[in-house]
A and B are shown apart, each in its own frame.
Chain A
Amino acid sequence: MTPFWTLFFKELLRFWKVGIQTVAAPVLTALLYLVIFGHALEGRVQVYDGVRYTSFLVPGLVMMSVLQNAFANSSSSLIQSKITGNIVFILLSPISHLEFFSAYVLASVVRGLVVGAGVLAVTVWFVELRLGAPLWVLAFALLGAALLGALGLIAGICSEKIDQLAAFQNFVIMPLTFLSGVFYSIHSLPDFWQKLSHANPFFYMVDGFRYGFFGASDVPPYASLAVVGVSFLVVSLVSLELLRTGYKLRH
Protein backbone atom coordinates (compact mmCIF):
# COMPACT_ATOMS: atom_id res chain seq x y z
CA MET A 1 0.00 0.00 0.00
CA THR A 2 1.20 3.48 -0.75
CA PRO A 3 1.43 5.99 2.10
CA PHE A 4 -1.60 7.84 0.74
CA TRP A 5 -3.85 4.78 0.60
CA THR A 6 -2.74 3.66 4.04
CA LEU A 7 -3.57 7.00 5.61
CA PHE A 8 -6.87 7.15 3.73
CA PHE A 9 -7.71 3.60 4.83
CA LYS A 10 -6.72 4.38 8.42
CA GLU A 11 -9.00 7.42 8.44
CA LEU A 12 -11.91 5.32 7.09
CA LEU A 13 -11.28 2.62 9.65
CA ARG A 14 -11.19 5.22 12.40
CA PHE A 15 -14.70 6.53 11.79
CA TRP A 16 -16.08 3.16 10.83
CA LYS A 17 -15.00 1.61 14.14
CA VAL A 18 -17.12 4.18 15.97
CA GLY A 19 -19.95 4.10 13.40
CA ILE A 20 -22.70 4.51 15.98
CA GLN A 21 -21.32 7.91 16.87
CA THR A 22 -20.09 8.97 13.42
CA VAL A 23 -22.83 7.63 11.14
CA ALA A 24 -25.90 6.44 13.05
CA ALA A 25 -26.15 9.46 15.37
CA PRO A 26 -26.20 12.15 12.64
CA VAL A 27 -28.73 10.09 10.64
CA LEU A 28 -31.02 10.01 13.67
CA THR A 29 -30.57 13.75 14.22
CA ALA A 30 -31.60 14.49 10.63
CA LEU A 31 -34.63 12.24 10.99
CA LEU A 32 -35.69 14.18 14.09
CA TYR A 33 -35.36 17.46 12.21
CA LEU A 34 -37.58 16.10 9.46
CA VAL A 35 -40.23 14.83 11.84
CA ILE A 36 -40.32 17.97 13.98
CA PHE A 37 -39.89 20.69 11.35
CA GLY A 38 -41.99 18.79 8.84
CA HIS A 39 -44.81 18.51 11.34
CA ALA A 40 -44.55 22.10 12.53
CA LEU A 41 -44.04 23.85 9.19
CA GLU A 42 -45.81 21.73 6.55
CA GLY A 43 -48.29 23.97 4.76
CA ARG A 44 -47.07 27.13 6.55
CA VAL A 45 -43.87 27.76 4.62
CA GLN A 46 -44.04 28.54 0.93
CA VAL A 47 -41.15 27.08 -1.07
CA TYR A 48 -41.11 26.25 -4.78
CA ASP A 49 -44.32 25.93 -6.75
CA GLY A 50 -45.74 22.45 -6.54
CA VAL A 51 -43.16 21.29 -4.00
CA ARG A 52 -44.33 20.34 -0.51
CA TYR A 53 -42.30 21.67 2.41
CA THR A 54 -41.12 18.26 3.65
CA SER A 55 -39.99 17.30 0.15
CA PHE A 56 -38.06 20.55 0.02
CA LEU A 57 -36.58 19.90 3.45
CA VAL A 58 -35.14 16.44 2.76
CA PRO A 59 -32.38 17.41 0.26
CA GLY A 60 -31.46 20.27 2.60
CA LEU A 61 -31.09 17.92 5.53
CA VAL A 62 -29.07 15.47 3.43
CA MET A 63 -26.67 18.20 2.32
CA MET A 64 -26.41 19.66 5.82
CA SER A 65 -25.45 16.22 7.14
CA VAL A 66 -22.90 15.72 4.35
CA LEU A 67 -21.26 19.06 5.13
CA GLN A 68 -21.28 18.83 8.92
CA ASN A 69 -19.93 15.29 8.95
CA ALA A 70 -17.23 15.94 6.38
CA PHE A 71 -16.05 18.79 8.59
CA ALA A 72 -16.29 16.72 11.75
CA ASN A 73 -14.26 13.87 10.28
CA SER A 74 -11.04 15.63 9.38
CA SER A 75 -11.17 18.15 12.22
CA SER A 76 -11.87 15.72 15.05
CA SER A 77 -9.47 13.07 13.76
CA LEU A 78 -6.69 15.62 13.56
CA ILE A 79 -7.32 17.27 16.93
CA GLN A 80 -7.50 13.88 18.62
CA SER A 81 -4.21 12.83 17.06
CA LYS A 82 -2.64 16.10 18.13
CA ILE A 83 -3.90 15.90 21.70
CA THR A 84 -3.02 12.25 22.21
CA GLY A 85 0.27 12.78 20.38
CA ASN A 86 -0.14 9.93 17.91
CA ILE A 87 0.09 12.42 15.03
CA VAL A 88 3.83 11.77 15.48
CA PHE A 89 3.50 8.44 13.63
CA ILE A 90 2.38 10.29 10.51
CA LEU A 91 4.88 13.11 10.96
CA LEU A 92 7.78 10.65 11.26
CA SER A 93 6.83 8.87 8.04
CA PRO A 94 7.69 9.96 4.50
CA ILE A 95 4.11 11.07 3.78
CA SER A 96 4.08 14.31 1.78
CA HIS A 97 1.80 17.23 2.61
CA LEU A 98 -0.20 16.56 -0.55
CA GLU A 99 -0.77 12.92 0.45
CA PHE A 100 -1.69 14.01 3.99
CA PHE A 101 -4.20 16.51 2.62
CA SER A 102 -5.73 14.17 0.03
CA ALA A 103 -6.11 11.27 2.46
CA TYR A 104 -7.84 13.34 5.14
CA VAL A 105 -10.09 15.17 2.67
CA LEU A 106 -11.05 12.01 0.78
CA ALA A 107 -11.90 10.19 4.02
CA SER A 108 -14.04 13.20 5.00
CA VAL A 109 -15.82 13.02 1.66
CA VAL A 110 -16.56 9.33 2.22
CA ARG A 111 -17.87 9.98 5.74
CA GLY A 112 -20.02 12.88 4.46
CA LEU A 113 -21.44 10.78 1.62
CA VAL A 114 -22.08 7.76 3.84
CA VAL A 115 -23.99 9.88 6.35
CA GLY A 116 -25.78 11.75 3.55
CA ALA A 117 -26.83 8.47 1.93
CA GLY A 118 -27.99 7.25 5.35
CA VAL A 119 -30.09 10.37 5.89
CA LEU A 120 -31.58 10.05 2.41
CA ALA A 121 -32.35 6.36 2.98
CA VAL A 122 -34.34 6.98 6.16
CA THR A 123 -36.10 10.19 5.10
CA VAL A 124 -37.00 9.44 1.50
CA TRP A 125 -39.96 7.28 2.62
CA PHE A 126 -41.75 10.26 4.14
CA VAL A 127 -41.80 12.41 1.02
CA GLU A 128 -42.19 12.39 -2.73
CA LEU A 129 -38.76 12.97 -4.17
CA ARG A 130 -37.42 12.42 -7.63
CA LEU A 131 -33.86 12.71 -8.72
CA GLY A 132 -34.21 15.15 -11.59
CA ALA A 133 -30.53 15.72 -12.31
CA PRO A 134 -28.37 13.22 -10.42
CA LEU A 135 -25.10 14.63 -11.78
CA TRP A 136 -25.76 17.96 -10.06
CA VAL A 137 -26.56 16.11 -6.84
CA LEU A 138 -23.31 14.18 -7.06
CA ALA A 139 -21.23 17.20 -8.05
CA PHE A 140 -22.44 19.35 -5.15
CA ALA A 141 -22.23 16.51 -2.63
CA LEU A 142 -18.65 15.69 -3.63
CA LEU A 143 -17.39 19.23 -3.90
CA GLY A 144 -19.22 20.40 -0.76
CA ALA A 145 -17.89 17.49 1.29
CA ALA A 146 -14.36 18.09 -0.01
CA LEU A 147 -14.61 21.80 0.86
CA LEU A 148 -15.73 21.03 4.41
CA GLY A 149 -13.13 18.28 4.75
CA ALA A 150 -10.41 20.74 3.80
CA LEU A 151 -11.89 23.37 6.14
CA GLY A 152 -11.90 20.74 8.90
CA LEU A 153 -8.19 20.18 8.30
CA ILE A 154 -7.51 23.88 8.78
CA ALA A 155 -9.61 23.96 11.96
CA GLY A 156 -7.86 20.83 13.27
CA ILE A 157 -4.42 22.23 12.51
CA CYS A 158 -5.10 25.62 14.10
CA SER A 159 -6.89 24.37 17.21
CA GLU A 160 -4.80 23.33 20.15
CA LYS A 161 -7.63 22.20 22.39
CA ILE A 162 -10.96 20.48 21.89
CA ASP A 163 -12.88 23.56 23.03
CA GLN A 164 -11.21 25.76 20.39
CA LEU A 165 -12.40 23.32 17.76
CA ALA A 166 -15.86 23.18 19.35
CA ALA A 167 -16.01 26.98 19.20
CA PHE A 168 -15.18 26.89 15.48
CA GLN A 169 -17.87 24.28 14.98
CA ASN A 170 -20.53 26.06 17.05
CA PHE A 171 -19.85 29.65 16.04
CA VAL A 172 -18.86 29.21 12.38
CA ILE A 173 -20.01 25.91 10.90
CA MET A 174 -23.38 25.61 12.67
CA PRO A 175 -24.65 29.17 11.94
CA LEU A 176 -23.47 28.99 8.33
CA THR A 177 -25.24 25.66 7.75
CA PHE A 178 -28.44 26.67 9.57
CA LEU A 179 -28.59 29.98 7.70
CA SER A 180 -27.87 28.42 4.32
CA GLY A 181 -31.48 27.75 3.38
CA VAL A 182 -31.67 24.18 4.62
CA PHE A 183 -35.00 24.88 6.32
CA TYR A 184 -36.37 27.61 4.06
CA SER A 185 -36.03 29.12 0.62
CA ILE A 186 -34.16 32.40 0.86
CA HIS A 187 -36.74 33.97 -1.48
CA SER A 188 -39.07 33.98 1.51
CA LEU A 189 -36.62 36.21 3.42
CA PRO A 190 -36.68 40.03 3.60
CA ASP A 191 -34.43 41.67 1.03
CA PHE A 192 -31.57 42.40 3.43
CA TRP A 193 -31.34 38.80 4.69
CA GLN A 194 -31.65 37.51 1.16
CA LYS A 195 -28.62 39.55 0.12
CA LEU A 196 -26.70 38.47 3.20
CA SER A 197 -27.42 34.83 2.43
CA HIS A 198 -25.61 35.26 -0.87
CA ALA A 199 -22.41 35.88 1.08
CA ASN A 200 -22.70 32.47 2.72
CA PRO A 201 -20.88 29.80 0.65
CA PHE A 202 -22.97 27.10 2.34
CA PHE A 203 -26.05 28.56 0.72
CA TYR A 204 -24.69 27.74 -2.77
CA MET A 205 -23.92 24.15 -1.78
CA VAL A 206 -27.43 23.53 -0.45
CA ASP A 207 -29.11 25.42 -3.27
CA GLY A 208 -27.15 23.64 -6.00
CA PHE A 209 -27.69 20.26 -4.38
CA ARG A 210 -31.43 20.90 -4.22
CA TYR A 211 -31.46 21.86 -7.91
CA GLY A 212 -30.48 18.25 -8.68
CA PHE A 213 -33.76 17.10 -7.15
CA PHE A 214 -36.30 19.75 -8.18
CA GLY A 215 -34.74 21.39 -11.20
CA ALA A 216 -35.45 24.67 -9.39
CA SER A 217 -33.15 26.79 -7.27
CA ASP A 218 -32.65 30.32 -5.96
CA VAL A 219 -29.44 30.76 -7.95
CA PRO A 220 -28.49 29.10 -11.29
CA PRO A 221 -26.59 25.87 -10.51
CA TYR A 222 -23.57 26.81 -12.67
CA ALA A 223 -23.07 29.94 -10.59
CA SER A 224 -23.35 27.93 -7.38
CA LEU A 225 -20.89 25.35 -8.66
CA ALA A 226 -18.43 28.10 -9.52
CA VAL A 227 -18.69 29.63 -6.02
CA VAL A 228 -18.25 26.24 -4.35
CA GLY A 229 -15.37 25.32 -6.67
CA VAL A 230 -13.50 28.56 -6.02
CA SER A 231 -14.10 28.22 -2.26
CA PHE A 232 -12.72 24.68 -2.36
CA LEU A 233 -9.66 25.87 -4.24
CA VAL A 234 -8.93 28.69 -1.80
CA VAL A 235 -9.49 26.57 1.32
CA SER A 236 -7.38 23.75 -0.14
CA LEU A 237 -4.49 26.06 -0.93
CA VAL A 238 -4.52 27.48 2.59
CA SER A 239 -4.72 24.00 4.09
CA LEU A 240 -1.89 22.68 1.88
CA GLU A 241 0.30 25.63 2.79
CA LEU A 242 -0.28 25.03 6.51
CA LEU A 243 0.68 21.38 6.05
CA ARG A 244 3.72 22.21 3.92
CA THR A 245 5.12 24.64 6.47
CA GLY A 246 4.19 22.34 9.36
CA TYR A 247 2.22 25.11 11.08
CA LYS A 248 1.38 23.96 14.63
CA LEU A 249 2.38 20.43 13.66
CA ARG A 250 6.16 20.58 13.31
CA HIS A 251 7.60 23.03 15.79
Chain B
Amino acid sequence: MRALAGVSLAIEQGEFFGLLGPNGAGKTTLINVIAGLARADSGAVSVMGADVLGEYRRARRMLGVVPQELVFDPFFTVRETLRIQSGYFGIRGNDAWIDEVMHHLDLMAKASVNMRALSGGMKRRVLVAQALVHKPPVIVLDEPTAGVDVELRHGLWQFVRRLNREGHTIVLTTHYLEEAELHCNRIAMLKAGRIAALDSTKNLLESFSGLQLRVRLDQERLPQPFPAQVLERDGPLFTLRLSSPGELEAVLARLRESGIGIVELEVQPPDLEEVFLRLTGRQS
Protein backbone atom coordinates (compact mmCIF):
# COMPACT_ATOMS: atom_id res chain seq x y z
CA MET B 1 0.00 0.00 0.00
CA ARG B 2 1.29 3.41 -0.91
CA ALA B 3 0.60 5.94 1.85
CA LEU B 4 2.49 8.88 0.37
CA ALA B 5 3.39 9.74 -3.21
CA GLY B 6 5.42 12.64 -4.50
CA VAL B 7 5.12 14.77 -1.38
CA SER B 8 7.70 17.52 -1.64
CA LEU B 9 7.68 20.47 0.68
CA ALA B 10 10.01 22.68 2.66
CA ILE B 11 8.99 24.04 6.02
CA GLU B 12 10.96 27.16 6.93
CA GLN B 13 12.55 27.78 10.29
CA GLY B 14 10.22 29.54 12.70
CA GLU B 15 7.04 28.66 10.81
CA PHE B 16 3.83 27.49 12.43
CA PHE B 17 2.93 24.95 9.79
CA GLY B 18 -0.33 23.04 9.49
CA LEU B 19 -0.68 19.59 7.95
CA LEU B 20 -4.33 18.93 7.20
CA GLY B 21 -6.24 16.20 5.50
CA PRO B 22 -8.94 13.60 6.02
CA ASN B 23 -8.25 10.34 7.84
CA GLY B 24 -5.93 8.17 5.80
CA ALA B 25 -4.54 11.08 3.79
CA GLY B 26 -1.02 10.27 4.99
CA LYS B 27 -0.44 12.94 7.64
CA THR B 28 0.78 10.56 10.33
CA THR B 29 2.80 8.55 7.80
CA LEU B 30 4.55 11.74 6.75
CA ILE B 31 5.31 12.59 10.37
CA ASN B 32 6.54 9.05 11.02
CA VAL B 33 8.93 9.33 8.09
CA ILE B 34 10.23 12.66 9.41
CA ALA B 35 10.62 11.18 12.90
CA GLY B 36 12.30 7.96 11.71
CA LEU B 37 9.43 5.78 12.96
CA ALA B 38 8.73 4.69 9.41
CA ARG B 39 11.03 4.37 6.45
CA ALA B 40 10.10 5.69 3.05
CA ASP B 41 10.67 3.41 0.05
CA SER B 42 12.16 6.34 -1.81
CA GLY B 43 12.88 10.00 -1.28
CA ALA B 44 14.67 11.92 1.43
CA VAL B 45 13.76 14.00 4.45
CA SER B 46 16.03 16.26 6.44
CA VAL B 47 15.47 18.15 9.65
CA MET B 48 17.51 21.36 10.01
CA GLY B 49 19.83 20.00 7.34
CA ALA B 50 20.27 16.58 8.96
CA ASP B 51 19.14 13.59 6.89
CA VAL B 52 16.72 11.50 8.97
CA LEU B 53 18.44 8.27 7.96
CA GLY B 54 22.09 9.15 7.33
CA GLU B 55 22.38 11.56 10.25
CA TYR B 56 19.56 10.19 12.37
CA ARG B 57 21.15 11.13 15.68
CA ARG B 58 21.44 14.80 14.76
CA ALA B 59 18.02 14.82 13.08
CA ARG B 60 16.31 13.32 16.13
CA ARG B 61 17.97 15.81 18.47
CA MET B 62 16.43 18.59 16.38
CA LEU B 63 12.99 17.09 16.58
CA GLY B 64 10.39 16.81 19.33
CA VAL B 65 7.39 14.69 18.39
CA VAL B 66 4.10 14.48 20.27
CA PRO B 67 2.61 11.20 19.05
CA GLN B 68 -1.07 10.89 18.32
CA GLU B 69 -1.73 7.82 20.48
CA LEU B 70 -1.89 8.28 24.21
CA VAL B 71 1.15 6.16 25.06
CA PHE B 72 2.93 6.00 28.40
CA ASP B 73 5.22 3.77 30.45
CA PRO B 74 3.20 2.45 33.41
CA PHE B 75 6.30 1.77 35.51
CA PHE B 76 7.22 5.40 36.14
CA THR B 77 6.07 8.68 37.64
CA VAL B 78 5.77 11.87 35.61
CA ARG B 79 9.14 13.21 36.77
CA GLU B 80 10.88 9.87 36.21
CA THR B 81 9.39 9.72 32.72
CA LEU B 82 10.76 13.18 31.89
CA ARG B 83 14.19 12.47 33.40
CA ILE B 84 14.47 9.23 31.46
CA GLN B 85 13.45 10.97 28.25
CA SER B 86 16.13 13.63 28.90
CA GLY B 87 18.68 10.86 29.39
CA TYR B 88 17.78 9.29 26.04
CA PHE B 89 18.94 12.56 24.50
CA GLY B 90 22.12 12.53 26.56
CA ILE B 91 21.02 15.37 28.84
CA ARG B 92 21.75 15.13 32.55
CA GLY B 93 20.70 17.51 35.31
CA ASN B 94 17.72 18.71 33.30
CA ASP B 95 15.46 19.39 36.29
CA ALA B 96 15.28 23.17 35.90
CA TRP B 97 13.91 22.84 32.35
CA ILE B 98 11.70 19.88 33.31
CA ASP B 99 10.19 22.03 36.07
CA GLU B 100 9.60 24.89 33.65
CA VAL B 101 7.89 22.63 31.11
CA MET B 102 5.78 21.00 33.83
CA HIS B 103 4.86 24.42 35.16
CA HIS B 104 3.63 25.63 31.76
CA LEU B 105 1.66 22.45 31.20
CA ASP B 106 0.20 22.59 34.69
CA LEU B 107 1.80 19.27 35.65
CA MET B 108 3.64 20.31 38.82
CA ALA B 109 1.02 18.82 41.15
CA LYS B 110 1.35 15.47 39.33
CA ALA B 111 5.16 15.26 39.28
CA SER B 112 5.34 12.28 41.69
CA VAL B 113 2.22 10.53 40.43
CA ASN B 114 2.54 7.28 38.49
CA MET B 115 1.63 7.60 34.81
CA ARG B 116 -1.06 4.94 35.17
CA ALA B 117 -2.99 7.11 37.62
CA LEU B 118 -3.27 10.11 35.28
CA SER B 119 -6.36 11.09 33.31
CA GLY B 120 -6.22 11.11 29.52
CA GLY B 121 -5.74 14.88 29.40
CA MET B 122 -2.89 14.71 31.88
CA LYS B 123 -1.21 11.92 29.93
CA ARG B 124 -1.43 14.09 26.84
CA ARG B 125 0.35 16.90 28.71
CA VAL B 126 3.14 14.52 29.70
CA LEU B 127 3.51 13.51 26.04
CA VAL B 128 3.94 17.18 25.15
CA ALA B 129 6.46 17.61 27.97
CA GLN B 130 8.40 14.53 26.81
CA ALA B 131 8.70 15.99 23.33
CA LEU B 132 10.19 19.18 24.78
CA VAL B 133 12.77 17.85 27.28
CA HIS B 134 15.64 18.35 24.84
CA LYS B 135 14.47 21.82 23.68
CA PRO B 136 14.12 20.75 20.06
CA PRO B 137 14.14 23.53 17.46
CA VAL B 138 11.40 21.68 15.54
CA ILE B 139 8.27 20.49 17.33
CA VAL B 140 5.79 18.16 15.66
CA LEU B 141 2.34 17.90 17.19
CA ASP B 142 0.24 15.06 15.78
CA GLU B 143 -3.37 15.81 16.73
CA PRO B 144 -2.30 17.28 20.07
CA THR B 145 -5.77 18.33 21.21
CA ALA B 146 -7.70 15.16 20.33
CA GLY B 147 -9.78 14.26 23.36
CA VAL B 148 -8.40 17.09 25.42
CA ASP B 149 -10.51 19.41 27.57
CA VAL B 150 -10.97 23.09 26.75
CA GLU B 151 -8.82 24.29 29.62
CA LEU B 152 -5.77 22.30 28.53
CA ARG B 153 -6.30 23.26 24.92
CA HIS B 154 -6.06 26.91 25.88
CA GLY B 155 -2.98 26.40 28.05
CA LEU B 156 -1.34 24.18 25.47
CA TRP B 157 -1.79 26.67 22.64
CA GLN B 158 -0.48 29.51 24.76
CA PHE B 159 2.65 27.49 25.49
CA VAL B 160 3.13 26.33 21.91
CA ARG B 161 2.68 29.88 20.59
CA ARG B 162 5.28 31.08 23.03
CA LEU B 163 7.70 28.42 21.83
CA ASN B 164 6.98 29.50 18.27
CA ARG B 165 7.66 33.16 19.14
CA GLU B 166 10.95 32.09 20.69
CA GLY B 167 11.96 30.63 17.35
CA HIS B 168 10.80 27.00 17.48
CA THR B 169 9.35 25.67 14.26
CA ILE B 170 5.96 24.08 14.83
CA VAL B 171 4.40 21.44 12.61
CA LEU B 172 0.83 20.63 13.49
CA THR B 173 -1.67 18.08 12.27
CA THR B 174 -5.20 18.54 13.44
CA HIS B 175 -8.78 17.70 12.68
CA TYR B 176 -9.87 20.96 14.25
CA LEU B 177 -9.74 23.33 11.32
CA GLU B 178 -10.36 26.35 13.50
CA GLU B 179 -7.14 25.52 15.35
CA ALA B 180 -5.17 25.46 12.12
CA GLU B 181 -6.86 28.66 10.97
CA LEU B 182 -6.06 30.37 14.24
CA HIS B 183 -2.43 29.30 14.69
CA CYS B 184 -0.84 28.24 11.42
CA ASN B 185 0.72 30.73 9.05
CA ARG B 186 1.04 28.14 6.29
CA ILE B 187 -0.90 25.02 5.50
CA ALA B 188 -0.45 21.91 3.40
CA MET B 189 -3.55 19.92 2.65
CA LEU B 190 -2.97 16.24 1.98
CA LYS B 191 -5.32 14.06 0.03
CA ALA B 192 -4.66 10.38 -0.69
CA GLY B 193 -0.96 10.79 -0.01
CA ARG B 194 -0.49 13.85 -2.23
CA ILE B 195 -0.37 17.55 -1.52
CA ALA B 196 -3.71 18.99 -2.65
CA ALA B 197 -2.86 22.56 -1.60
CA LEU B 198 0.13 24.33 -0.12
CA ASP B 199 -0.14 28.00 0.67
CA SER B 200 -0.31 30.57 3.43
CA THR B 201 -3.46 30.33 5.52
CA LYS B 202 -4.38 33.84 4.36
CA ASN B 203 -4.09 32.96 0.66
CA LEU B 204 -6.01 29.73 1.06
CA LEU B 205 -8.86 31.57 2.71
CA GLU B 206 -8.80 34.37 0.17
CA SER B 207 -8.82 32.05 -2.82
CA PHE B 208 -12.12 30.76 -1.55
CA SER B 209 -13.39 34.17 -0.54
CA GLY B 210 -17.01 33.52 -1.41
CA LEU B 211 -19.78 33.66 1.15
CA GLN B 212 -22.14 30.84 1.87
CA LEU B 213 -25.81 31.57 2.04
CA ARG B 214 -28.19 29.09 3.60
CA VAL B 215 -31.86 29.72 2.96
CA ARG B 216 -34.97 27.78 3.86
CA LEU B 217 -37.74 28.56 1.36
CA ASP B 218 -41.46 27.99 1.51
CA GLN B 219 -41.17 25.89 -1.66
CA GLU B 220 -38.82 23.11 -2.78
CA ARG B 221 -37.71 24.82 -5.99
CA LEU B 222 -35.55 27.65 -7.23
CA PRO B 223 -36.49 29.84 -10.18
CA GLN B 224 -34.49 29.22 -13.36
CA PRO B 225 -32.15 30.76 -14.26
CA PHE B 226 -30.81 31.58 -10.85
CA PRO B 227 -28.01 34.11 -10.13
CA ALA B 228 -26.00 31.99 -7.60
CA GLN B 229 -24.29 28.59 -7.57
CA VAL B 230 -26.13 25.90 -5.61
CA LEU B 231 -23.75 23.91 -3.39
CA GLU B 232 -26.23 21.68 -1.64
CA ARG B 233 -29.96 21.16 -1.48
CA ASP B 234 -32.03 19.28 1.02
CA GLY B 235 -35.76 19.75 0.39
CA PRO B 236 -36.55 23.43 0.89
CA LEU B 237 -33.08 24.07 2.43
CA PHE B 238 -30.55 25.43 -0.08
CA THR B 239 -26.86 26.21 0.41
CA LEU B 240 -25.73 28.80 -2.12
CA ARG B 241 -22.36 30.25 -2.92
CA LEU B 242 -21.95 33.99 -3.41
CA SER B 243 -18.76 35.39 -4.86
CA SER B 244 -19.41 38.75 -3.17
CA PRO B 245 -21.85 40.25 -0.65
CA GLY B 246 -23.35 42.27 -3.53
CA GLU B 247 -24.80 39.10 -5.10
CA LEU B 248 -27.13 38.75 -2.15
CA GLU B 249 -29.31 41.55 -3.51
CA ALA B 250 -29.75 39.77 -6.88
CA VAL B 251 -30.65 36.48 -5.14
CA LEU B 252 -33.28 38.11 -2.96
CA ALA B 253 -34.76 40.04 -5.94
CA ARG B 254 -34.99 36.85 -8.06
CA LEU B 255 -36.83 34.98 -5.28
CA ARG B 256 -39.21 37.89 -4.74
CA GLU B 257 -40.01 38.11 -8.47
CA SER B 258 -40.85 34.39 -8.57
CA GLY B 259 -43.15 34.65 -5.59
CA ILE B 260 -40.96 32.36 -3.40
CA GLY B 261 -40.90 33.28 0.29
CA ILE B 262 -37.91 32.97 2.69
CA VAL B 263 -38.49 31.13 5.97
CA GLU B 264 -34.91 31.32 7.31
CA LEU B 265 -31.71 32.92 6.09
CA GLU B 266 -28.08 32.70 7.24
CA VAL B 267 -24.89 34.15 5.71
CA GLN B 268 -21.52 32.58 6.60
CA PRO B 269 -18.03 33.96 5.95
CA PRO B 270 -15.49 31.65 4.27
CA ASP B 271 -13.63 29.29 6.54
CA LEU B 272 -10.93 26.69 6.28
CA GLU B 273 -13.47 23.93 6.52
CA GLU B 274 -14.95 24.95 3.22
CA VAL B 275 -11.53 25.14 1.60
CA PHE B 276 -10.71 21.78 3.10
CA LEU B 277 -13.87 20.12 1.87
CA ARG B 278 -13.50 21.55 -1.60
CA LEU B 279 -9.91 20.48 -1.93
CA THR B 280 -10.35 17.05 -0.45
CA GLY B 281 -13.18 16.41 -2.79
CA ARG B 282 -16.55 16.25 -1.14
CA GLN B 283 -17.61 19.13 -3.36
CA SER B 284 -16.49 19.99 -6.85
| Chain A residues proximal to chain B, CB less than 8 Å | 1-3, 5-7, 9-10, 13-14, 17-18, 81, 84-86, 88-96, 246, 250-251
Determine if B36 and A250 form an interchain contact, defined as CB atoms under 8 angstroms apart.
yes
Which residues of chain B come closer than 8 Å to A93, judged between CB atoms? 60, 85, 88-89
> B68-76, B163-171, B174-182, B270-278: which one contacts chain A?
B68-76
- The answer to whether A251 and B87 touch (CB under 8 A), given A17-B75, A84-B71, A85-B69, is no
- The answer to whether A3 and B87 touch (CB under 8 A), given A14-B75, A86-B73, is yes
- The answer to whether A1 and B60 touch (CB under 8 A), given A84-B71, A92-B65, is no
Q: Does B282 contact A (CB under 8 A)?
A: no
Write the B88-100 contact mask toward A (1 if CB under 8 angstroms, else 0).
Answer: 1110100000000
Determine if B37 and A92 form an interchain contact, defined as CB atoms under 8 angstroms apart.
yes
Determine if A89 and B88 form an interchain contact, defined as CB atoms under 8 angstroms apart.
yes
Q: Does B173 contact A (CB under 8 A)?
A: no
Closest-CB distance, A193 to chain B (whole angstroms): 43
Closest 4 CB pairs of A and B: A6-B87, A93-B88, A85-B71, A94-B57
Q: Does B39 contact A (CB under 8 A)?
A: yes
Determine the distance from Cα of A118 to Cα of B144 in the docked complex, in whole angstroms.
Answer: 46
Which residues of chain B come closer than 8 Å to A94, judged between CB atoms? 56-58, 60-61, 88-90
| Chain B residues proximal to chain A, CB less than 8 Å | 32, 35-39, 56-58, 60-61, 63, 65, 67, 69, 71-76, 80, 84-90, 92, 130
Determine if A1 and B32 form an interchain contact, defined as CB atoms under 8 angstroms apart.
no
Which residues of chain B come closer than 8 Å to A86, judged between CB atoms? 71-73
- Can you list 18 A-B pairs, Cβ within 8 angstroms, ordered by A? A3-B89, A7-B87, A13-B76, A13-B80, A86-B73, A88-B71, A89-B85, A90-B88, A91-B36, A93-B85, A94-B56, A94-B57, A94-B58, A94-B90, A95-B88, A96-B57, A246-B39, A251-B37
- In the complex formed, the residue of A with least CB distance to B67 is A88
Within 8 Å by CB of B88, from A7, A13, A17, A251, lies: A7
Which residues of chain A come closer than 8 Å to B65, judged between CB atoms? 92
Closest-CB distance, B111 to chain A (whole angstroms): 17
Determine if B88 and A6 form an interchain contact, defined as CB atoms under 8 angstroms apart.
yes
Within 8 Å by CB of A84, from B35, B37, B74, B88, lies: B74
Determine the distance from Cα of A84 to Cα of B70 in the docked complex, in whole angstroms.
Answer: 9
Determine if B75 and A1 form an interchain contact, defined as CB atoms under 8 angstroms apart.
no
Determine the distance from Cα of A84 to Cα of B63 in the docked complex, in whole angstroms.
Answer: 22
Closest-CB distance, A249 to chain B (whole angstroms): 9
